[in-house]
Structure 1
């Protein structure tokens, strides 16, 4: 196979690249399932113990964008082609132009801005290619990393759903965030001028 020239490739920036999930990614999915605190923040629950069969089934379901169009799953890799996490475009409502994004960065790669970079790529795709108009998401109260990422992306806090998630013996709030296409475009201009 010829060497790929990524110089004009949409699905990347200076640090990361998004790609289709591949069969070999089952191990990363399996590994991440052992990070209970991170999974609790993502799924708002403690999941049953992971299995290799579940990890392989997950990858088989979403490999090569084979699932339905309401959830589009990507692997995130750094410029060394190392899988560092996953991100997905989900809850796509074409009629109303709304969507959400789910993301998990592997424990060894957090705090380096990879999640924010992956989110920007997917937001650009959703707003500029899919004609979607509004990103809606929520963060479990106490998830400082995701809250900071939402703010950095230019999202507005739109409300709080009080005491709606029961986990770790207590009821937790969900912090609601939103970002419109126009706000995203304005934030991109600000980011380029800095």
Structure 2
């Protein structure tokens, strides 16, 4: 049993703090990361990023829909993870995870996802998680396959970026599948 629910083997999750603004600002200027995560938006000023981190730090906790900072076990901010489409009645939810480029391929995204799954499946009684991955995001596809997610189909031509349309790959993982793979929940 894990001693701290918000800590894994490589990272811990914590609230976003106003002092995190510089790392998020730098990350927000990386077009490739923006495209992999969501979309290319217009540039944000430093003051705009400061206000965003302040708003994020002031949000209350509802236990279901949240955005948390991901830090390594030395306390360095390495990214963020957020949950969405939380449906307690049916026990389903989704999430998004983003790791700053200089911290890619260190297992941080995988560990952060496992922490969130452990919380939703083991504490909130959710039954299934869904992940929507852009078909051009090969790293995220491989990550979800390694975590045991099932490819449940694709939505064709759902994202337009970098001059062309792309599919969205739908992945799903049930509580039982997670428990079987991790021995948790």
TM-score by length of 1: 0.88
Render the CA deviation track for 1:51-85: whole Å, top value 9, x for unaligned: 22321222122215526665311111111111011
Would the alpha carbon gap of residues 126 and 24 (structure 1) be closer, same or farther in structure 2, given more than 3 Å must change?
A: same
Would the alpha carbon gap of residues 64 and 152 (structure 1) be closer, same or farther in structure 2, given more than 3 Å must change?
A: farther
Match of 2:123 in 1: 129
Would the alpha carbon gap of residues 51 and 71 (structure 1) be closer, same or farther in structure 2, given more than 3 Å must change?
A: farther
Match of 1:4 in 2: none
Q: Distance in 2 between matches of 1:112 and 1:158?
A: 27
Match of 1:104 in 2: 98
Q: Distance in 2 between matches of 1:111 and 1:101?
A: 19
The structural deviation recorded for 1:29 is 1.2
The structural deviation recorded for 1:186 is 0.9
Corresponding residue pairs, total: 183
The structural deviation recorded for 1:188 is 0.8
Q: What does residue range 147-166 of structure 1 map to in structure 2 within 5 Å?
A: 147-166=141-160
Q: Distance in 2 between matches of 1:17 and 1:102?
A: 16
Would the alpha carbon gap of residues 174 and 73 (structure 1) be closer, same or farther in structure 2, given more than 3 Å must change?
A: same
Match of 2:170 in 1: 176
Match of 2:20 in 1: 25
What residue ranges of structure 2 are gaps of 5+ in the alignment?
A: none
Report the 3-state secondary structure (helix = DSSP H, G, I; strand = E; otherwise coil) of the residue aligned with 1:62.
helix
Determine if the alignment matches structure 1 residue 12 to structure 2 residue 7: yes
Aligned structure 1 segments of 4 or more residues deviating by more than 4 angstroms = 67-70
Q: Distance in 2 between matches of 1:97 and 1:84?
A: 29
Contact preservation (8 Å) 2:92, 2:126: yes
Q: What does residue range 136-151 of structure 1 map to in structure 2 within 5 Å?
A: 136-151=130-145
Q: Distance in 1 between matches of 2:93 and 2:74?
A: 30
Render the CA deviation track for 1:70-101: whole Å, top value 9, x for unaligned: 53111111111110111112211111111111
TM-score by length of 2: 0.92
Match of 1:37 in 2: 32
The structural deviation recorded for 1:126 is 0.8
The structural deviation recorded for 1:50 is 2.1
Contact preservation (8 Å) 2:9, 2:111: no
